[in-house]
Amino acid sequence: MLIVVNHIILMLADDMACNPRNPRPATVFNNANQHINVYGSDVEVDYRGDEVTVERLVRLLTGRLEPSTPPTKRLLTDDRSNVLIYMTGHGGDGFLKFQDAEEITSTELADAFEQMWQQRRYNNIFFMIDTCQAASMYEKFYSPNILAVASSQVGEDSLSHHLDSSLGVYVIDKYTYHALDFMEKLRKDSKKSMADFLRVCPRHQCVSTVGVRSDLFPRNPADVRVTEFFGSVRHVERTDRLVDLGDGDTETPVTVGTRVETAAPAPAGSYRYVAQFPVMS
Amino acid sequence: MGLLTSPTAGGSSKKFANILIKWEPVVSPLLYIAGIIWFLALAYHPYNAGTYFSENALLPGLVTNEFSDGSELARLLKALEAEAADHPDTVPHPWIRAQFRQLGLQVYPHNFTLRYPLGNGSVFHGENTYAVLRAPRSGSTEALVLSAPYRRPGAPHPPNHAAVAMLVALAKYFRRQVYWAKDIVFLVTEHEQLGVAAWLSAYHQQPVGHGLLDAGDLPGRAGSIQAAINLEVESATVSHVDVLVEGLNGQLPNLDLVKMAHWICHQEHIQHTTQGRADHPRPHSEAGYRHSLQTLLHMMASQAAGTPTGNHGHYLRSVAPVEGNHGHYLRYGIQAVTLRALDDRSMPGPRSGLSHLARVLEGMFRSLNNLLERFHQSFFFYLMPATGRYISIGLYMPPFALVAIGIVLRALTCWLRLPDTDDSEGRQQEAEGAESDGKKGGNACDRPSEPCVLPCVLAPHALGAVTLAGLVPLTQLLAAAGWPTERAVFAGLLTVSVGSLLLPAITSRRSALSESGRLLLRCVTLIELGLLVFTAALFNISLALIVTTLYTPVALSARYYSSAPARLLASLCLLLVHPFTLQLAAVALGAPALAWRAVLAADQRALAVALVDSLVYGARLLDVACTVLLPLWLQMWTLVHCG
């Protein structure tokens, strides 16, 4: 199961891989058996350390980024895009902690999604959250086409799966562990539905109760394939309409994939380099 | 303020004053007794709380401790013992440094000098060795310290070679690990506390000891020290590990660190104790309560002494030397404990080897390595009745306040009972002046209508200050006459104590105290005592509670009795709580088996040690006893004897 790297925006506040306490430098494993290095060469961290703030996340979702932001740090979605949002960390009733200084509240997140909807930045959102009292984070959502799943109900703790005794740290949460287990068995042509995925980690495995919110989602999860959110499987539609790609001299927008770029205006006159060091007289 | 400035003005405040004057003599003793009962009840298991980890980053005991090189430890210990036998008069620094250097650590010497001020004033030189293991993948901004005092053969303390060997073996093991996020300093000190105090002083460039201790500078440093473990290992087999917490002036390390030390011992199945006492198996039973109470009182006795000597106050050190070098780290904001591994025959249960102990230390250092911030959570003010129980400041303060509140209430009633004069403002000014300011009070003496208590307050304080300042010159003077320091200090304090008993006769000859004058003197004395105990309670609850418990009854009853037997009884009670008597009693209680002559000798030593602690380390017990407690006592003595 794979999503193309440049379609993932990864925000990591902690640099676990390069933390001096990590006995296996530059690696992060999914569990204590150390079979899968989840910090391999195919991982790109787009926002790291102090860059991971609530403001950045909301700006990223709503597209209100500085003009200089590179495309890899932008969401660049439109009304045909299915967006998967996965969050994990320390949560409480109605918030998720960011760094040690701030937190995003469920209301802020719901409002950000509503802005996205009004800006036509998504077709469907699948929202996954693995924190304590995780269900409180999706309760405030009010925008259409959102399917949400949470690892625990309000008032419940979300527990970790097991301890890595060489690290001295609990390495993976129960819900994420079982969700990952489910994913690992999938292929690109899998026919599994979202309803199957939402059944992952029943109470006897998770200890906490997995919460699902599907009232905003117009379709029956049993009819939605998992690959619509996971796996970069594009839905291709044929069209008979001729698309004018332009000839490069005009200033009309050129559509390339889902990204919109504006061609640079033709240079007026010739340019020359100025002296590298201005001569002071 | 209306109440204080004008006690008899106005209707409601007068009513209140009358109620207070009427009921205070009944209420104060009742509150005193209630407070003591309440405090003693706190040792009972259901009335105190279990220790817990407040700092989640510690993640204690989650790693598998892997140290297993017991044979290397044994080899190092054997080599060090041979080295020590070859050089009985010096510390085998070359050997120790060579060991650390072989491991590739940065090794530095540290020299320090103490100009001993007492007696003939000799000069002591000492040398420490420390080795820094740099964190392989992080900046040297933070550090942990593992220290052990080196003890020469024949020193009064039990040998500590195993701890030094442990340092080397652990350094070798730690060196191979890649996960250190903080520098680790291995420190071998000489001259017990002095070495640690000097090293820390040099590390932080903070002079200690009034210029007596020349700590010099360090050739190399690690980062800011986050935590320290001081290690004492008395034998190669370990029956239990005692965790010593009390630091200088009753400072305590963060409870998270203490809990971590106990927890990791528990995880590694090594018996662990506090105050040298294991937990009672049935803490809810009556025997269990008595056991906890004794542990609590042990801790209080030790904390009250205010010297970092672990589980026996400084008065005992002269008998059975116990050092807790961790105590000096605390003054720099470094949380530290001493782990003292003993083989006590009376302790039941299995014995562990040194490699077992090494795994405990490994676990602790991995846990401390996880720290992201300084210790700041949990408690800094607590008392421990068992290894896993604590009485926080929130629990012990209310009963303490009940014990001490009688002092304040009685001071208030004394003030309210003062005869009314037209110039009540002037009287208040005079009372303030009598407490602190000599100039203002001096004018008050000129007014014939005002009671003159100034000499009765100032003279004892002056005497106390002169006593404290005069002790050092006295020992130097008497040393010329061939007196040993200990006897000189003892004789000096005894002379002052006995001689000052005549103070009431002198002060009352100059100005006889009227009835209202005595009342005012009582008021001032009680206010000063209240100030002392409530202030002390904030940083050394044990000292404050002991002083309060002993002084409240005598302070409440200190007044002039017209009948001679009552006066005699009051004098006797006062003599029993004289600071000098208390010191003697503490020594005698600490070593009940000794004959009186030995107790006297121990007391002399303890006084001299207290003076050295005050001069070199900044222990404040002797200072407070001389400059505050003794004058207060003398004021009470004046009250009883000034007719």
Confidence label for B441 from pLDDT (cuts 50, 70 and 90): very low
For the segment B52-66, the average pLDDT, to the nearest whole number, is: 88
One-character DSSP codes across B376-445: -SS-SSEEEEETTEEEEHHHHHHHHHHHHHHHHHHHHHHHHHSPP-S-HHHHHHHHHHHHT-HHHHHHHH
Please enumerate residues of A whose Cβ is less than 8 A from a Cβ of B: 18-23, 25, 163, 165-170
What distance in Å separates the CA atoms of residue B624 and residue B620, rounded to the nearest whole number? 6
Confidence check: pLDDT of B291 > 60: yes
Burial A87-103 (b: 16+ CB within 10 A, else e): bbbebbebbbbbeeeeb
Q: State how far the alpha carbon of B251 is from the alpha carbons of B244, B246, B335, B534, in Å.
A: 12, 6, 10, 16
The pLDDT, as a whole number, for residue A265 is 60
Counting one residue from chain A and one from chain B, the pairs whose CB atoms sit within 8 A come to 36
Contact B179 A21 (CB under 8 A): yes
Sort out which chain A residues have CB atoms less than 8 A from B177's CB and list them. Answer: 23
Contact A167 B63 (CB under 8 A): yes
Positions of A marked active-site = 90, 132
Residues 6+ apart with CB under 8 A from A188: A1, A2, A227, A231, A233
Confidence check: pLDDT of B505 > 90: no
Of A148 and B436, the one with more pLDDT: A148
Contact A168 B135 (CB under 8 A): no
Confidence check: pLDDT of B464 > 90: yes
Characterize the bridge pairing of strands B213-214 and B106-115: antiparallel
Sort out which chain A residues have CB atoms less than 8 A from B137's CB and list them. Answer: 18, 20, 25
The pLDDT, as a whole number, for residue A247 is 66
Of B448 and B326, the one with more pLDDT: B326
What distance in Å separates the CA atoms of residue A13 and residue A48, rounded to the nearest whole number? 5
The pLDDT, as a whole number, for residue B512 is 63
User: The dihedral of CA A148, A151, A156, A157: what is its sign?
Assistant: negative
CA A154 to chain B, closest CA, distance in angstroms equals 22
Closest in B64, B137, B178 to A165, CB measured = B64
B536: enclosing H helix or E strand: helix B515-539
User: B541 with B498: CB under 8 angstroms?
Assistant: no
Domain B56-387 sits in CATH 3.40.630.10: yes
Confidence check: pLDDT of A74 > 80: yes
Each residue of A96-119: pLDDT tens digit?
999 888 999 999 999 999 999 999
What distance in Å separates the CA atoms of residue A95 and residue B535, rounded to the nearest whole number? 43
A87: enclosing H helix or E strand: strand A82-88
Each residue of B20-42: pLDDT tens digit?
889 989 999 999 999 999 999 99
CA A86 to chain B, closest CA, distance in angstroms equals 25
Burial A182-202 (b: 16+ CB within 10 A, else e): bbeebeeebebbbebbbebbe
Of A242 and B493, the one with more pLDDT: B493
Counting residues of chain B whose pLDDT is more than 90, the rounded percentage is 55
Confidence check: pLDDT of B445 > 80: no
In terms of C-beta density within 10 A (0-12 exposed, 13-18 middle, 19 or more buried), how is residue B308 classed?
A: buried
Sort out which chain B residues have CB atoms less than 8 A from A165's CB and list them. Answer: 62-64
Average pLDDT score over chain B: 86
The CA-to-CA distance between both ends of chain A, in Å, stands at: 65
Burial B152-177 (b: 16+ CB within 10 A, else e): beeeebebbbbbbbbbbbbbbbbeee
Confidence check: pLDDT of B496 > 50: yes
Contact A25 B178 (CB under 8 A): yes
Confidence check: pLDDT of A141 > 70: yes
Confidence check: pLDDT of B628 > 50: yes
Sort out which chain B residues have CB atoms less than 8 A from A169's CB and list them. Answer: 59, 62
B193: enclosing H helix or E strand: helix B193-204
**Closest chain A CA to residue B135:** A20
Contact A20 B138 (CB under 8 A): yes
Contact B179 A165 (CB under 8 A): no
The pLDDT, as a whole number, for residue B408 is 94
Confidence label for A52 from pLDDT (cuts 50, 70 and 90): very high
User: B621 with B539: CB under 8 angstroms?
Assistant: no
Sort out which chain A residues have CB atoms less than 8 A from B179's CB and list them. Answer: 20-23
Sort out which chain A residues have CB atoms less than 8 A from B62's CB and list them. Answer: 163, 165, 168-170
**Closest C-alpha to B243, from B224, B266, B215:** B266
Q: Which of B53-62, B240-249, B414-423, B591-600 has the lowest mean pLDDT?
A: B414-423
**Closest chain A CA to residue B366:** A168
Sort out which chain B residues have CB atoms less than 8 A from A20's CB and list them. Answer: 135-138, 179-181
| Domain spans of chain A, in order of start | 5-228
Contact A169 B64 (CB under 8 A): no
Confidence check: pLDDT of B120 > 60: yes
Confidence label for B368 from pLDDT (cuts 50, 70 and 90): very high
Closest in A23, A163, A170 to B179, CB measured = A23
Closest in A20, A163, A170 to B137, CB measured = A20
Closest in A19, A21, A168 to B62, CB measured = A168
Average pLDDT score over chain A: 84
CA B173 to chain A, closest CA, distance in angstroms equals 14
Q: Which among A16, A18, A21 is the top mutation candidate for probing chain B, defined by the most B β-carbons within 10 Å of its own β-carbon?
A: A21
User: The dihedral of CA B469, B470, B473, B476: what is its sign?
Assistant: negative
The pLDDT, as a whole number, for residue A266 is 62
| Domain spans of chain B, in order of start | 2-41+395-641, 56-387
Confidence check: pLDDT of B497 > 50: yes
Confidence check: pLDDT of A255 > 50: no
CA A16 to chain B, closest CA, distance in angstroms equals 12
CA B139 to chain A, closest CA, distance in angstroms equals 10
**Closest chain A CA to residue B66:** A166
What distance in Å separates the CA atoms of residue B598 and residue B492, rounded to the nearest whole number? 19
Confidence check: pLDDT of B451 > 70: no
The pLDDT, as a whole number, for residue B525 is 93
CA A108 to chain B, closest CA, distance in angstroms equals 28
Each residue of B400-439: pLDDT tens digit?
999 999 999 999 999 888 876 544 444 454 444 444 443 4
The pLDDT, as a whole number, for residue B420 is 64
Sort out which chain B residues have CB atoms less than 8 A from A14's CB and list them. Answer: none
Each residue of B536-589: pLDDT tens digit?
999 899 999 999 999 999 999 888 888 889 989 999 999 999 999 998 888 888
**Closest C-alpha to A134, from A93, A175, A104:** A93
Confidence check: pLDDT of A148 > 50: yes
CA A18 to chain B, closest CA, distance in angstroms equals 9
Residue A103 sits at φ, ψ, to 5 deg, of -145, 155
Domain A5-228 sits in CATH 3.30.70.80: no
Each residue of B130-186: pLDDT tens digit?
999 999 888 889 999 999 999 888 777 788 899 999 999 999 999 999 999 999 999
**Closest chain A CA to residue B177:** A23
**Closest C-alpha to B153, from B94, B236, B99, B87:** B87
Sort out which chain B residues have CB atoms less than 8 A from A18's CB and list them. Answer: 137
Closest in B59, B136, B137 to A168, CB measured = B59
Confidence check: pLDDT of A67 > 50: yes
Quick one: tokens of B251? Answer: 């400072």
User: B616 with B609: CB under 8 angstroms?
Assistant: no
| Chain Cα centroid distance, residue B38 | 24
Please enumerate residues of B whose Cβ is less than 8 A from a Cβ of A: 59, 62-64, 135-138, 177-181, 366-367, 369-370
Of B596 and B74, the one with more pLDDT: B74
User: A10 with A44: CB under 8 angstroms?
Assistant: yes
The sheet with strand A146-150 has its strands ordered as: A82-88, A124-130, A146-150, A211-213
